[in-house]
Amino acid sequence: MVLRDLQVEREAFAARTGWELKPEGACRDDRCIPLPGDVGEGPVDVRLVADAVGMALVGDEARGLWALGPESGGRALTHARMPDLELPDRHGRSFSLRSLRGTKVVMVAWASW
């Protein structure tokens, strides 16, 4: 997640990372990790959540940018449910992986390079 500001609207943060701020802390699926202090109702302080969850926060001061890495400290997968993804096909039409529910899927990652 590339950022220009370390204060991010909650909905945008949850949509991109899966982590929601609740009174009990930063929550995703059935896990909640306590955050220091009162998180209030406003935007997410990315530094607080990054520290608590183990998401790397790296900066490029010269360009005024930051990026937030995925949760660390365990495995790349934290659960076995395939994330809902919508990606375009070669004509730019959006395709939802969820539309394939009910059938077995082999998803192969390849590249032109």
Q: Which is nearer to other proteins, 52 or 57 (CB)?
A: 57
Give least dist CB 106 to other proteins, A.
6
x-marked contacts with other proteins along 76-95 as a string, rule CB under 8 A: xxxxxxxx-x-xxxx-x--x
The alpha-carbon radius of gyration of the chain (Å, integer) is 17
Query: Which residue, 2 or 36, is less far from other proteins as judged by CB?
Result: 2
Which residues sit opposite 43 in a β-bridge? none
Find the shortest distance in angstroms from Cβ 111 to other proteins.
5
- Tell me whether residue 21 is exposed, middle or buried, using C-beta atoms within 10 angstroms of its C-beta: 0 to 12, 13 to 18, 19 or more: buried
Considering the complex, what minimum distance in angstroms separates the CB of residue 67 from other proteins?
Answer: 4
Cβ contacts of residue 24 below 8 Å, gap of 6+? 32, 34
Residue type, 91: H
Size of the site for other proteins (CB under 8 A): 50
